[in-house]
Amino acid sequence: MQRRDFIKKVGAASVALGTGLAMTNVQARADFKWKMVTTWPKNFPGLGTAANNLARLIGEMSGGRMQVKVYGAKELVPAFGVFDAVSRGTAEMGHGSAYYWKGKMEVGQFFSTVPFGLTAQEMNAWMYHGGGLQLWTELYDNFGLIPAPAGNTGVQMGGWFNKEINSVADLEGLKMRIPGLGGEVLKRAGGTPVNLPGGELFTSLKSGAIDATEWVGPYNDLAFGLYRAAKYYYYPGFHEPGTILEAMINKEAFNALPKDLQSIVMNACKVVNQDLLAEYTARNPAALHELLTKHKVQLRAYPDDVLKKLRKISNEVVAELADKDDFSRKVYQSYKQFYDNALLWSDISERAYLDARARV
């Protein structure tokens, strides 16, 4: 009798175990197939490959339970159609930068970059530990989206010009591709900002449709061959001191994921955010060397009086944006408080060290 009872118990346990294993296997085979649309040309170095890496990481970290297919600009939607596509659910994810959607929400530009504003390190600090990401999440919730930092270019270059900029007067009438708040600063300095996707820059500059363009920095600018369309390469990129690239996620699709996959998606964004900045820091020096030595690009610094004028205008533009509504004021106050504290620290840390390294 005892032997029969033991056999029954073992059998019941085996059935339960088998059922549990079967359920685990079903869960392991659960298949979430997402689409990611981007504002970048397909497989473009840095920007485009960051989106590819994000999709790859999500697949690997989920053990194949989740697959993300990446679509470059124009493959599924136009470059500037990414925000709407993800908001509507046409795609579950997007990769771009918040200043591209300023027509929908001007305050969103704070979550991309601000002229003469926070650097990449400072932006990440504000995002993760200064309340920036919470405010960004609150803003995007109005569009059914969840935002996440997913890359940073670091300080960008000032841009490519076919004439020298020796004074503020040289900006008058200048037709330049420059997005976001930087574009508004140029406009008030007398120029004409144009917003073009990356894939159209070379032909527009070469044909004379625009007089100048900024893109990112040596790594990406070399890949686009912009040195074949313009003569002078200016620095620093006052308009983009630390531009965040964003992953935007359809909120309904995100909420449909189990908790572990939600965590994987958000942490994959963090990995890509850190890795892309490291990639630009590694690739830009070699690319700049090639531009200067092989292609004989003429490197130029913006004159101090030009930068002072642009800085003054920038302060006015940002202050006006901050005064648009209550939420804009809340974002500005958070950003400005963090900026003031960061400035005090950076003066005696990064700036002091770099100055000392240059002198000694």
Please give the pLDDT value at position 278: 98
Q: Give yes or no for a contact between 130 and 342, defined as CB atoms under 8 angstroms apart.
A: no
Considering the chain, what is the average pLDDT of its residues?
93
Please give the pLDDT value at position 17: 45
pLDDT tier for residue 10 given thresholds of 50, 70 and 90: very low
The percentage of the chain sitting over the pLDDT mark of 70, rounded to a whole number, equals 92
**Which tens digits make up the pLDDT trace of 60-115?**
999 999 999 999 999 999 999 999 999 999 999 999 999 999 999 999 999 999 99
Whether the link from the prior residue into 236 is cis, omega within 30° of 0, is: yes
Rg, the chain, Cα only: 24
pLDDT above 60 for 14:
no
pLDDT above 90 for 7:
no
Residues 254-283, buried b or exposed e (16+ Cβ, 10 A)? beebeeebeebbeebbeebbebbbebbeeb
Domain range list for the chain? 1-29, 30-150+243-281
Of residues 288, 153, 158, 156, the one with CA closest to residue 213:
158
**Which tens digits make up the pLDDT trace of 249-267?**
999 999 999 999 999 999 9
Of residues 203, 174, 199, the one with CA closest to residue 186:
174
H or E element in which residue 24 lies = helix 2-29
pLDDT tier for residue 31 given thresholds of 50, 70 and 90: confident
pLDDT above 80 for 135:
yes
Q: What is the pTM of this model?
A: 0.89
Distance CA 118, CA 246 (A): 16
**Candidates 3.40.190.170, 3.30.43.10, 3.30.70.1230, 3.10.180.10; CATH matching 30-150+243-281:** 3.40.190.170
pLDDT tier for residue 268 given thresholds of 50, 70 and 90: very high
Q: What Å distances lie between residue 89 and 32, 50, 142, 143, CA to CA? A: 14, 22, 14, 11
